[in-house]
Each structure stands twice: as C-alpha cells, then as structure tokens.
Amino acid sequence: MQSKEPFFTLTGFARLCGTTRTIIGRILTEQGLRIISKHPTLRAYEEGFVEQYDNIFIPGKYLYKWHLYKTLDVLLNSGLTIVKEYYYVL
C-alpha cells in the first residue's frame, strides 16, 4: 500500500534544489541512505525515507520515490538550498 505522504524522485529534488540528480544521489549515499549501486539502504526503508514502486515500462524493474520532508531535511543540512520559485510547493 502506498503512502499518502508527499514523495519526490531524485529528479524532483534536483529541480527543487537547482542541481542535478547525480548530486542528490551522491549526498544520499554520503549520508548512508543509498549504496553505490544506486539502491536505497535498509536504513532508508526502515526510517521511511523511501518507497519502491514498479516501473510500468520495464517489467521486473523498480523505481524509488523519496519522502519530501525527510529527504529535504538531509539535503538542506548538507548545504543545498531550495530554488526560490519552488517555495510555494512546501
């Protein structure tokens, strides 16, 4: 069952913070929420940072969405900022 909490993809966070999803992924990896192979860690699942869902275009593959507020807190504490035009979203 999927949560009703707000979730973003890494691309969504990249747009929100005015950077790239590669940078977002690197920060999450440094903070112990992703492993080098780009999959979330057990900690990320246990602490509610991430949810997995099926990729409708590639059967058997999964995509990940990250909890907006929990993940944004990690990103902001890592030095990123929110791009001005996205303040209304939050």
Domain presence at residue 24? yes
In this predicted structure, what is the pLDDT of residue 1?
Answer: 47
Residue 65, in any domain of the structure: yes
pTM given for the model: 0.84
- SS3 of the chain: the string is CCCCCCEECHHHHHHHHCCCHHHHHHHHHHCCCECCCCCECHHHHHCCCEEEEECCCCCCCEEEEEEHHHHHHHHHHCCCCCCHHHHHHC
Higher per-residue confidence, 1 vs 35: 35
- Is 85 a domain residue? yes
The domain in which residue 72 lies consists of 7-89
Question: Does some domain include residue 68?
Answer: yes
Output the pLDDT for position 85. 67
Question: How many independent structural domains does the chain possess?
Answer: 1
